[in-house]
Structure 1
């Protein structure tokens, strides 16, 4: 169920649907979800930061300041629920309020800000309205946001397909202003979000519910060179979870454990974006998951990977990089941090600590060149 005394603080940031416009009790879907979590025994404070008319651009501008004031570091268990979209596609004098190419950029900016701040994040997609032409744009935006959320390792709840032809939703929206539902519509919307929300809240309160506490999130610690330790950030925990998700979804191992894809990797780049990869085993020396993820990150435009972790399939937990990967990381990304498994649980450390006496390829290349010239 989660820790009974975990003090959860969750900011709900978004537009008028988050604010609950049209709901006569003014609970909206946010109030109903908070009520459901409290009924499950969670100690939860929810902050409604929905602003009517807000686009993704406006949300990106205010996100850090508004949430930082309510989610002070190291005092509570933080969380962030995001939802926007309809205002991005609404047209004024024939032009959408946010251009299509800017919508993806804004989503990346918001997601990177959330992850960089260490706030576990849940995203709720935009609902349909009464205008079918606008709905076509909402449907396209829903797909874009879902893809970006997946790329960042963020749980995404799409509600569009479930609501667009739902008679109750269409009746509720038509009875109000053509966009916002009334009480029954918000009840329906909250019901669609609730299963993912309750799982997400449960993981906030106790992230080890589904995994072995001896090898997984229960002992996520970071140790500094002086020997001190502290829990990994929520963003680091999310990185471990993303690596686990990608290998669970991609492994082809049979009952005996044989397969070409048995390891998953996730890395976070300088912008907070998560990139993933899986290994490709072959007796000639197929690439490890870490190398595949590094290549995928570079192909996506990442310049400076910050943190990396690899996880085995079938619940084998975090696995430390092999000697070859340590050498590759040392040569190419000497500042990178690695989440590793130790006897005291998981810790985050630098690659140089993992390979203190690494082969110095650059220096050796210079020595070989000098020797050749002298000969």
Structure 2
């Protein structure tokens, strides 16, 4: 029996599935969906709440290298979902960010180039927030303008390195009910928000083709 291919999904609380009390988040939803399909890849969800780009860059290789299951085997692909926590402003609405846009752009491209020799890479954009719910945890201010700027850096880095990228921020805000997809904290998605991301992933042609699955529908343009 041929061992299934493996997709490592690494990132922050979105990968953890925080906020989805029904089915455990978009990554868990996709994992369960693929389990019901013949020869679909196996998904490892490796999210850590609060992680930003630097934390993911520090742990991705260790996480990736120990999940090949078989001797001398490594996972074939990695899906990266990180960056929202790097947009937060600390202490006040105009406070400093963990990584400003320029530093984030440089670090993101460096991470992509480090991963690229080891397998296929897929990158998710960032989700929108409810600014009226800020500050998060009484000390962090997230804004959609900052998120849009950081997501633009992700897109540019992916274009530079030639990595498939799926936008989320603009697409989410284009939906009429998007504010209802957020938890009361204004940041984390609820079950409806996680379901929306899962559906976008299931119709993302780049990921579907790598997985050897037929795309269910054309992905929406950003």
Query: Could you say which TM-score interval applies, normalised by the shorter chain?
Result: 0.7 to 0.9
Which of 94-103 and 78-87 deviates more?
94-103
Q: CA deviation at 1:205?
A: 4.8
Aligned residue for 1:120? Answer: 120
| Alpha-carbon RMSD | 2.4
Deviation at 1:57?
1.0
Equivalent position of 2:219 in the other structure: none
Alpha carbons 1:7, 1:77 under 8 Å: kept: no
Cα distance in 2 for partners of 1:28, 1:171 equals: 16
Does the 8 Å CA contact 1:63/1:110 hold for their aligned counterparts?
no
In the TM superposition, what is the alpha-carbon distance from 1:184 to its structure 2 partner? 1.3
Q: Deviations over 1:217-236 (max 9, x none)?
A: xxxxxxxxxxxxxxxxxxxx
2:175 and 2:207 mapped to 1: Cα distance?
26
Using the alignment, how far apart are the partners of 2:61 and 2:74 within structure 1?
Answer: 17
Distance 1:195 1:130 in 2: 26
Report the TM-score when normalising by structure 2.
0.81
- Cα pair distance change 1:127/1:45, threshold 3 Å: same
Match of 1:360 in 2: none
- Take 1:129 and 1:185, find their aligned partners in 2: how far apart are those partners? 11
| Per-residue deviation, 1:39 | 3.3
Determine helix, strand or coil for the equivalent of 2:189: coil
Query: Helix, strand or coil: the match of 2:210?
Result: helix
Q: Which has the larger radius of gyration?
A: 1
Q: Which residue of 1 aligns with 2:210?
A: 203
What SS does structure 2 have at the residue aligned with 1:31?
A: helix
What is aligned with 2:52?
55
- In the TM superposition, what whole-angstrom CA distance separates every residue of 1:86-123 from its partner, at most 9, and x where no partner exists? 1011011211121222101210221012113x121110
Residue 38 of structure 2 corresponds to which residue in structure 1?
41
CA distance in 1, matches of 2:206, 2:189: 26
1:109-188 alignment, distance < 5 Å = 109-116=110-117, 118-131=118-131, 134-173=143-182, 175-188=183-196
CA distance in 2, matches of 1:101, 1:76: 32
> Aligned-pair distance for 1:199?
4.3
Cα distance, 1:74 vs. partner?
Answer: 4.9
Which gives a bigger RCO, structure 1 or 2 (Cα 8 Å, sep 6+)? 2
SS of residue paired to 2:195: helix
Match status 1:105 vs 2:113: no
Q: Show structure 2 runs of 5+ residues with no match.
A: 133-141, 215-222
> For the Cα contact (< 8 Å) 1:14–1:51, is it kept in 2?
yes
> Within 2, Cα distance between the matches of 1:105 and 1:115?
16
Unaligned runs of 5+ in 1: 210-375
Contact 2:18 2:24 in 1 (8 A): no
The 2-side partners of 1:184 and 1:56 are apart by 26
- 1:1-375 pair list within 5 angstroms: 5=2, 7-71=4-68, 74-75=72-73, 78-93=76-91, 94-116=95-117, 118-131=118-131, 134-173=143-182, 175-196=183-204, 199-205=206-212
Q: In the aligned structure 1, how far is the partner of 2:189 from the partner of 2:176?
A: 12
Q: CA deviation at 1:26?
A: 4.9
Query: What is the CA distance between 1:204 and its match in structure 2?
Result: 4.6
- Quick one: structure 1 residues 187 and 193, their matched pair in 2 at CA, closer, same or farther if it must change by over 3 Å? same
State the TM-score, normalized to the length of structure 1.
Answer: 0.49
Q: Is the 8 A contact 1:80 1:122 kept in 2?
A: yes
Task: Return structure 1 stretches of 4+ with deviation > 6 angstroms.
Answer: none
Paired with 2:156 and 2:15, the residues of 1 have a C-alpha distance of 21
